[in-house]
Structure 1
């Protein structure tokens, strides 16, 4: 009994000694490691992972593409959608699934499934399709509450013109956009620079950094210069309601004789957006982007340095009125603006009328020329 007691004491002393030794060793080594450069060990090579972002982008695209689908109706029309939850529910646009009960879903690996429309809106361009064959699959992460901001990098995924697994990149180039494309009203939508085309509708707009869905790509210009995406946060409540309680009767949606031609937004509208974007860039102090909106002749006549100097004392610009008209092959955009300007150390407010000529240059819409005049006080009141 006494021998066992002695053995127990010796064992305890050894354990305590080992613990003290380990503590002292860690205490001595950790500060040295904290001052060393950080390394990420990869497999057997003990290689450093360069934080270039390229691998992250590929990973986000790869993981997202598997959950983006092609939506096809019996009449041959196509659109895009993406897996929203583990019930097999797919979010898309209402104009993609309009007047259909059953649709065909094709995944990125070309597997086909049958889907049923369980929710659709005749006012908001949103629909929900249940695909039992996709149930149990982990869906795309959704940014249910966060709103994107101008400058955020984004990825637009979908099936433009029938080409599946297509990804385009860009930024949020505008927010709080309102537009009507009958029969739908788009309110507070994102304007994006990522090119989208027919068939992209219903695909996800993904945050480049987080991989989360922040919007549903819904409308675009055929030239690809401007796109619009509905913020996911603004329609998530409607989607969740349909998912929990599918609609018993689906509304009929009139898309017109030829269906919804969302790419047929007028050139005048596009020209107006280009000028609006120009002034938004000025307001954000992004003179380089504003300068890039000018045509080559204007840039030849005015250097970037002179352009920047001309706006450096413009603190803010508000567009009070904008009209755009077709003039031959180009468009004339007339804007009435109010500018806060710094003059001799003081901030003054001044109104202007500016006429811009907007037209295509190398398939891109540019501000080709502009002529403005300062408005007198009586003209400002009118």
Structure 2
């Protein structure tokens, strides 16, 4: 659902971790803010038809719901920072805890409390400035078994468990289902994209806690925000969308070694994938023409986002009112990447007048965590 539509549904939203008492409005953009900056070589994406099979447990014997809860609670922690309380969970065997960035914001050292009420000191080793995710290293938890991480995305209707410390009530578990997919909005300074909407009740203190598949015990997401409306709506960041960044923080920390990824480029990209990539270009420009910059920015790959902040991305579109796609084509470059080329016409405001200029644009498109994203790109004025 686009941000424009969300504006008619959601009145306000809050971050639900430490110091999260304030209410943040989800802002809408007016038509006169529409713009495009071809020099940014804009990105595009749309969820490709991909298998969304439910993840399966690695155990030979299926656990009961009660067993899954008991096992999970031992790996979920309460985080106490200078601003208040939040939640987190162990995700690897290095003693690293995933949480929300807003839970540990302003703190380098935090207190970690486990299910048995033992307290340990943790150090923030990774922190997102626009992505609401952080990692805390706790040396005393190195030998503790982490929660298993799901490798596939959830589907609407999947049963879930939300664990954490809402309002300071530690070791709380609430149940529900995935009630919506791909929700995106902005709660400054964070940009939330492709979120899970959940029916399990969450509130202040749940931030950073895990969203768990009730059938397998695997982590699906990070509980992060709640919308203040009758009944309340909760949202969780899919773990698949941030796992790469989280792992990089862990690898860069002392006494760890970086891992290498090798791409297999031996097979051809299907014609269906190429067609979808071309269609995504038009979708991306539609977002820009509707001033839905949050959704457009969400379509950039992680490397592109790390080099271009949301503020700069949006600022680049200040003087362009409308863009039309005049020509588009695509070609396979490897198993996981495609090149999409096209000609666009941008109506730009110069010296109080609107002038239409054509640009040649080229993008390298590939999959990140199962979703098609723009990895690199460039735009050049057509002579």
Q: TM-score, normalised by structure 2?
A: 0.49
Considering Cα pairs closer than 8 Å and 6+ residues apart, tell me whether 1 or 2 has the greater RCO.
2
Q: TM-score, normalised by structure 1?
A: 0.49
Larger gyration radius, structure 1 or structure 2: 1
